[in-house]
């Protein structure tokens, strides 16, 4: 059976966000007591409607940039699952100072709060963006290039700080490098919305989805349930060799953006055949984006027991079904 956190007191930072809300639901389903800590700058309180009244759930509105607030929120916790961040490469290029403040200073506050509370296990969200301009494919954890955006730099710095704190203060830290996560509750609106929810939303309205570049750039798109599995495995692993490491969290599949759009069109055409005739709009590539991104997930399989249950096709169908019912 898959290892999951159960009967623990868990603090989830960024718990009102896309990954965070799915994580909180999963934790509650496994009899954990969950504290969600979020400043609601990008997360939505409405994401928590289904669990807000759960007897084992507590919501605290606060920022990881406030050391006192995050330290108090962590009191009594057994494990911290750190998802809070300012995401998006384009956002970080537009506003690098805010990205640095939240993703680096905020993360440092989380580490300090762990130290103050003598809490050992922290699982934190890193990113495939740390691989930067390295051309190796698939990406392996021990080999990274030059980061291409402030967001990528912030995640790389987080990994460096995690290593320092693990060595100095005897903490058990595990970083998960997420590769293009998608699925239920990922917002399709806003200037920095991710590609898949934007594509689904546009096509459902029979509008042309916007593709940056020629669409042949590839990603290792990773369905949300694979991420939830990896977080649970990282939070519960006991093998000392698995601790204080970084792990790729992905499927090990190379999917072009053009294929993503085509797959969504085929699925939605069963609902409305006219969607299949919509022509995507292609615009200039975005600065800071990598051309190709594919993960080697053998390390996570070996040390964590990671075994993704959703490939891209299964994940995209699940996502489309959710958006169709909820948009």
Mean pLDDT of 161-169: 96
Is 34 a member of any domain? Answer: yes
DSSP state of 274: G
> For the segment 254-308, what is each residue's pLDDT rounded down to a tens digit?
999 999 999 999 999 988 999 999 999 999 998 878 888 999 999 999 999 999 9
Domain presence at residue 282 = no
* 47-83 confidence digits (pLDDT tens): 999 999 999 999 999 999 999 999 999 999 999 999 9
What tens digit of pLDDT does each residue of 4-25 get? Answer: 999 999 999 999 999 999 999 9
CB 162 within 8 A of CB 111: yes
4 within a domain of the structure (yes/no): no
Q: Is the peptide bond before 266 cis (omega within 30 degrees of 0)?
A: no
Tens-place pLDDT, residues 204-238: 999 999 999 999 999 999 999 999 999 999 999 99
Mean confidence (pLDDT) of the chain: 95
Does residue 191 fall inside a structural domain?
Answer: no
Alpha helices in 78-149 (DSSP H): 89-94, 96-100, 106-116
Assign residue 40 a region (left: φ > 0; alpha: ψ between -120 and 50; beta: otherwise): left
For residue 192, pLDDT beyond 90: no
* % of the chain surpassing 90 pLDDT: 91
Which contiguous run of DSSP H or E holds residue 38?
strand 33-38
Q: Does 312 have pLDDT greater than 70?
A: yes
The beta strands (E) that lie in 77-217 are given as 79-82, 121-127, 172-178, 181-182, 210-212
Calpha distance 293→285 (Å, rounded): 16
- Let me know: does 226 contact 26? Beta carbons within 8 Å: no
The number of distinct structural domains making up the chain is 1
**Annotation says 131 is catalytic:** no
Cβ-count burial of 222 within 10 angstroms (0-12 exposed, 13-18 middle, 19+ buried)? buried
Per-residue pLDDT at 190 exceeds 80: no
CATH number at residue 121: 3.40.50.720
Domain that holds residue 63: 9-186+222-251+295-310
Q: According to the model, what pLDDT value does residue 2 have?
A: 82
- The reply to whether 72 falls in a domain is yes
In a domain, 25, yes or no: yes
Nearest to 83, CA basis, from 182, 186, 175: 175
Residue 273: how many CB atoms within 10 A of its CB? 9
Confidence of residue 1 (pLDDT cuts 50, 70, 90): low
In a domain? residue 317: no
Q: Do residues 215 and 258 lie in contact, with contact meaning Cβ atoms separated by under 8 Å?
A: yes
pLDDT tens digits for range 114-161 = 999 999 999 999 999 999 999 899 999 999 999 999 999 999 999 999
Catalytic residue among 151, 165, 178, 223: 151
**pLDDT score at 288:** 78
Q: Please report whether residue 261 resides in a domain.
A: no
The rounded Cα 158 to chain-centroid distance in angstroms is: 15
């Amino acid at each position: 059976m898959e290892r999951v956190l159960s009967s623990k007191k868990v603090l989830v930072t960024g718990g009102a966000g896309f990954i965070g809300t799915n994580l909180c639901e999963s934790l509650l389903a496994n009899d954990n007591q969950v504290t969600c800590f979020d400043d609601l700058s990008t997360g939505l309180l409405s994401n928590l409607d289904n669990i807000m009244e759960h007897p084992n759930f507590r919501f605290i509105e606060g920022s990881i940039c406030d050391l006192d607030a995050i330290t108090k929120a962590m009191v009594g916790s057994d494990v911290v699952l750190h998802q809070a961040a300012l995401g998006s490469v384009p956002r970080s290029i537009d506003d690098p100072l805010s990205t640095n403040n939240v993703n680096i200073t905020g993360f440092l506050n989380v580490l300090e709060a762990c130290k103050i509370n003598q809490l050992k296990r922290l699982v934190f969200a890193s990113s495939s963006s740390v691989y930067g301009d390295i051309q190796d494919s698939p990406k392996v954890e021990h080999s990274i290039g030059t980061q291409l955006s402030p967001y990528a730099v912030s995640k790389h710095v987080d990994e460096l700080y995690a290593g320092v704190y693990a060595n100095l203060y005897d903490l058990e830290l595990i970083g998960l490098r997420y590769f293009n996560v998608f699925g239920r509750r990922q917002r399709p609106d806003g200037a920095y919305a991710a590609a898949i929810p934007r594509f689904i939303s546009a096509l459902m309205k029979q509008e042309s989805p916007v593709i940056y570049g020629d669409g042949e750039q590839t990603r290792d798109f990773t369905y949300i349930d694979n991420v939830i599995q990896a977080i649970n495995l990282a939070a519960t692993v006991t093998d000392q060799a698995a601790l204080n490491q970084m792990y790729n969290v992905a499927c090990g599949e190379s999917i072009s953006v053009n294929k993503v759009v085509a797959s969504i069109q085929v699925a939605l055409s069963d609902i409305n055949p006219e969607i299949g005739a919509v022509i995507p709009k292609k615009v200039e590539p975005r600065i800071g984006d990598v051309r190709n991104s594919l993960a080697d997930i053998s390390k996570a399989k070996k040390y964590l027991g990671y075994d993704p249950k959703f490939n891209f096709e299964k994940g995209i169908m699940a996502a489309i079904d959710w958006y169709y019912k909820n948009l």
